C-alpha cells in the first residue's frame, strides 16, 4: 500500500496544471497543452470521446487489484476464430480443454481505457493475426479497472500488467512454450499495461508493441512503456502530444505522417489516436508500411527522413531493430 500511495503522489504531481479554457465540444482538444492542462477529450473503445478530468479523485476500492479475477484471458485460434475459450490462471484443465497449442506462437492483445475485449479494433487485430499465421491469440479483458476514471485506471494498469506477466509465465512454464514466440500488443493505455507485463517477466517477450501509447499522466512516469520491456519494443505514434506520447520511448519508434494529429482523413484527435491500431492491423496483413530512418524525432514529425528502410508493425516474432522512423500513409484501409 505504501508503494501505491507514493505512486498516487507522483502522478498527482504530474497532473498539476495550468487550467486554460476548456472546449465543451466533443473531441475538440485545441485547448490541451501536454503536462499543463487538467482536462482532455479521450477516446473509448467504441469510438466515443469523454471529457476527462486528470485530477479526478482516485477510486480507492480499485487500487489493490492483485486478484486474478481482474483479468479475463480469451483464447482464439484457427479452430475457434470467432468464439472465445476462457483460460484461467492456475487451472490446467482450462488449457487442456481448449484449442491452445504450445507449439504455436502467442499474440496477446490488450485494450485501453473505457474499453473491453470485444471492441471492433481488438477483433480486427485478432483476425489479422490468425490470417497471417496459426497463432494462439489471447485477448485480455480488464474492463473492471479500465472502466474506472482515468487516473484510477492509470495507477492500477501497472498491477494489471503484472498479473498478465504472471499468467504468461504460468502458461509457458506449464505447457513448455517459448518466450521467443510471444508478442504483446497494447492499445493506448493498454500499451503501458503490456509494458508492465513485459517488465514482470524481465523483458523476455520477443516483441512488445505499443499502439499510440497513452500520453496524459505518462510523460516522465517511470512505469511507462519503455525499451526494456521486451527483446524488441516498438511504438507507433499517431496522436503524439495529445492523447498519445510524442517522444521516443521504444527500441523503434514510428511516426506515420509526423506522428501527430491530424492523420490523413482525420478531423479529430480521437480519429488520429485510433489510427495506430488500424495501421498495425493492416501491417499484419500486408507488411507494406515502410519507415525511413530519421536523425531525430523532430525530423520524423516533418516526415523528412531518408535513411534505411524498416517496416512498421507486422507479425514477425523475430523482428529486431532500433531507431526513429518516419513514413507517410494513405487515409483509408489498407493505408
* φ and ψ of 8, to 5 deg: -60, -45
* Nearest alpha-carbon partner for 211 in 242, 241, 181, 190: 190
Give CA–CA dist 256/239, Å, rounded: 10
For residue 334, cis peptide bond before it (omega within 30 degrees of 0): yes
Q: Which residue in the list 188, 270, 272, 283 is annotated as catalytic?
A: 188
Cell 492456475 maps to which residue? Answer: 90
Q: Please, is 137 exposed, middle or buried when counting C-beta atoms within 10 Å of its C-beta (0-12, 13-18, 19+)?
A: buried
Active-site residue, 188 included:
yes
* φ and ψ of 36, to 5 deg: -125, -40
Is the separation of the CB atoms in 245 and 237 below 8 Å? yes
Query: Which region, left, alpha or beta, applies to residue 137 given φ > 0 means left and ψ of -120 to 50 means alpha?
Result: beta
What is the dihedral angle through the alpha carbons of 124, 278, 115, 62, rounded to the nearest 10 degrees? 120
* Nearest alpha-carbon partner for 196 in 167, 159, 166: 159
Q: Which residue in the list 273, 282, 283, 315 is annotated as catalytic?
A: 273
* φ and ψ of 232, to 5 deg: -140, 125
Active-site residue, 141 included:
no
Cell 500499451 maps to which residue? Answer: 191
Partnered with residue 290 across adjacent β-strands are: 311
Active-site residue, 212 included:
yes
Q: Which residue in the list 212, 229, 239, 253 is annotated as catalytic?
A: 212
Active site members: 188, 212, 273
Amino acid at each position: 500500500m505504501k508503494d501505491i500511495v507514493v505512486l498516487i503522489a507522483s502522478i498527482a504531481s504530474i497532473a498539476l496544471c495550468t487550467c486554460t479554457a476548456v472546449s465543451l465540444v466533443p473531441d475538440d482538444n485545441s485547448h490541451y497543452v501536454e503536462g499543463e492542462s487538467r482536462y482532455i477529450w479521450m477516446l473509448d473503445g467504441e469510438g466515443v470521446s469523454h471529457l476527462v478530468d486528470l485530477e479526478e479523485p482516485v477510486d480507492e476500492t480499485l487500487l489493490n487489484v492483485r486478484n486474478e479475477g481482474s483479468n479475463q484471458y480469451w483464447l482464439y485460434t484457427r479452430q475457434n476464430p470467432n468464439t472465445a475459450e476462457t483460460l484461467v490462471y492456475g487451472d490446467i484443465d482450462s488449457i487442456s480443454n481448449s484449442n491452445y497449442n504450445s507449439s504455436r506462437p502467442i499474440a496477446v492483445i490488450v485494450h485501453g481505457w473505457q474499453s473491453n475485449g470485444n471492441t471492433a479494433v481488438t477483433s480486427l487485430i485478432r483476425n489479422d493475426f490468425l490470417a497471417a499465421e496459426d497463432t494462439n491469440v489471447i485477448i485480455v479483458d480488464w474492463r473492471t479497472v479500465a472502466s474506472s476514471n482515468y487516473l484510477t485506471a492509470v495507477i492500477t494498469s501497472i498491477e494489471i500488467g503484472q498479473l498478465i506477466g504472471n499468467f504468461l509465465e504460468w502458461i509457458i512454464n506449464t505447457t513448455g512454450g517459448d518466450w521467443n514466440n510471444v508478442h504483446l500488443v497494447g492499445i493506448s493505455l493498454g500499451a503501458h499495461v503490456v509494458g508492465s507485463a513485459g517488465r514482470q517477466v524481465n523483458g523476455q517477450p520477443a516483441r512488445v508493441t505499443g499502439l499510440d501509447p497513452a500520453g496524459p499522466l505518462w510523460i516522465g512516469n517511470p512505469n511507462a512503456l519503455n525499451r526494456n520491456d521486451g527483446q524488441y519494443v516498438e511504438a507507433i505514434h499517431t496522436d503524439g502530444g495529445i492523447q498519445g506520447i510524442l517522444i521516443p520511448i521504444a527500441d523503434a519508434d514510428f511516426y506515420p505522417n509526423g506522428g501527430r494529429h491530424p492523420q490523413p482523413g482525420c478531423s479529430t484527435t480521437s480519429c488520429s489516436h485510433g489510427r495506430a491500431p488500424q495501421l498495425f492491423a493492416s501491417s499484419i496483413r500486408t507488411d507494406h508500411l515502410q519507415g525511413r530512418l530519421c536523425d531525430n524525432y523532430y525530423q520524423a514529425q516533418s516526415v523528412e527522413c531518408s535513411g534505411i528502410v524498416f517496416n512498421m508493425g507486422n507479425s514477425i516474432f523475430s523482428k529486431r531493430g532500433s531507431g526513429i522512423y518516419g513514413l507517410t500513409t494513405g487515409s483509408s484501409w489498407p493505408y
